[in-house]
Each structure stands twice: as C-alpha cells, then as structure tokens.
C-alpha cells in the first residue's frame, strides 16, 4: 500500500527544461544571479528539485544554459537580426536604440541589459562563465562590424570609422546606458 498516486504524469523533458530556463532568465535579469535561489525557481515553476537537478546538475550549468540559449537568442533578435536587415549600419543601430527606448517607456522600468547584468555579476568569478559571456559579446560585435564593412564595400558609409572601434563604442554605450537607467 504505497502512496496512492492517482495523478497522471507525462514526461516532457524539453518543455520542463524550457520552463526552468524561462523562469531562470527572467529571475536573473530582475533579481540577479546570486539573489536568485534554485528554491525560488522550484517554487515559481512547480518543478521539483530532482527534476531540476536532472536537467541542470549545478546552478552554474543553469547559468551557462541561460547565456547560451536564452540570452544568445535575445541578442540575436534585438541586435544582430535588426542590424543585418537595416539598409545601413548606422540606421540599423539607431533603430535598435529607438525601439528599445520605446519598449522601456511603455514598460516603465529599466532592468538593464541582460548580457551586461550577468557580465557585471559573474564575469570575474568564473572563467567558464566569462568565456560564455565573451562569446556573446563577440557575436554582437561581429554583426556590427560586418555591417559596417558591407556599407563601405557598397559605398554607403556616410563616414568611414574603424569598424571594430565603432562597434565597441556602440556596445559600450548601450550597456552603460541601461545600467545607469537602473539607478
């Protein structure tokens, strides 16, 4: 006479994994990595500790997955894709800034750049995490540089800045602005 387990259960590993990833990335952004406990995630998602540990053996592995899957996608959709599709690098960059500013106005609060928040908090503590974050920055930077070079090749560049330096400035400006916006 074990426990009468009358509730049906269906294994959905990918769905459960995604739910955890969603909750984790949201919590990391709104509260920070250290301030988010895995018990918090257990409570908010309803996922049990065993299941969570099955998919993410450690908190660090969870952070790694958030960076490589969720944040990478976010950088891609809000930056890389937008810049690539724009007529010119400069116009694409300006458009992203305006779009983000509009979204922030509607939202009413600033919770920072997802990538920048994590970079600030855990880049210094762990080399593996720092590498994952650096890779995301490299992608971001590469997309801007590629567009600038394409502009130059097409003769569309209003001015001819050093692509690498210009990309760095754009990224630093964006990251810094969202950080200051939090205060």
Cα–Cα dist 38/49, whole Å:
8
Minimum Å gap between C-beta 66 and DNA is 13
Cβ nearer to DNA, comparing 124 with 169: 124
Cβ nearer to a copy of itself, comparing 35 with 158: 35
Name which position in 18, 30, 37, 77 contacts DNA (CB under 7 A).
Answer: 37
Cα–Cα dist 98/109, whole Å:
16
Return all residues near 118 (Cβ < 8 A) that are at least 6 apart. 28, 33, 63, 66, 67, 71, 129, 133
Minimum Å gap between C-beta 43 and DNA is 9
Cβ nearer to a copy of itself, comparing 72 with 119: 119
Locate tokens 């998602």: which residue? 45
Q: What is the DSSP string of 6-54?
A: -S-----HHHHHHHHHHHHHHHHHHH-STT--HHHHHHHH---HHHHHH
Is 123 a binding residue for a copy of itself by CB under 8 A? The answer is: yes
Is 152 a binding residue for a copy of itself by CB under 8 A? The answer is: no
Name which position in 23, 119, 144, 148 contacts a copy of itself (CB under 8 A).
Answer: 119
Using only the alpha carbons of the chain, give its radius of gyration.
20
Is 134 a binding residue for a copy of itself by CB under 8 A? The answer is: yes
Structure tokens at 146: 């590629």
Q: Which residues bind a copy of itself (CB under 8 A)?
A: 30-32, 34-35, 111-112, 116-117, 119-125, 130, 133-134, 137, 168-169, 171-177, 179-180, 182-183
Q: Which residues bind DNA (CB under 7 A)?
A: 2-3, 5, 8-13, 16-17, 34, 36-40, 47-51, 53-55, 57-60
């Amino acid at each position: 006479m074990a426990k009468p387990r009358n509730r049906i259960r269906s294994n959905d590993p990918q769905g459960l994994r995604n739910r955890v990833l969603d909750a984790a990335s949201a919590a990391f952004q709104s509260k920070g990595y250290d301030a988010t406990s895995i018990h918090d995630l257990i409570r908010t998602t309803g996922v049990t500790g065993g299941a969570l540990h099955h998919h993410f053996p450690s908190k660090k592995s969870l952070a790694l997955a958030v960076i490589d899957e969720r944040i990478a996608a976010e950088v891609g959709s809000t930056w890389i894709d937008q810049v690539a599709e724009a007529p010119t690098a400069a116009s694409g960059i300006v458009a992203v800034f305006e779009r983000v500013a509009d979204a922030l106005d509607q939202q009413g609060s600033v919770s920072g750049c997802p990538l920048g928040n994590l970079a600030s908090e855990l880049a210094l503590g762990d080399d593996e995490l720092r590498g994952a974050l650096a890779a995301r920055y490299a992608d971001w930077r590469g997309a801007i540089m590629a567009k600038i070079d394409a502009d130059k090749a097409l003769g569309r560049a209003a001015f001819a800045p050093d692509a690498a330096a210009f990309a760095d400035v754009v990224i630093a400006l964006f990251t810094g602005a969202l950080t200051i916006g939090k205060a």
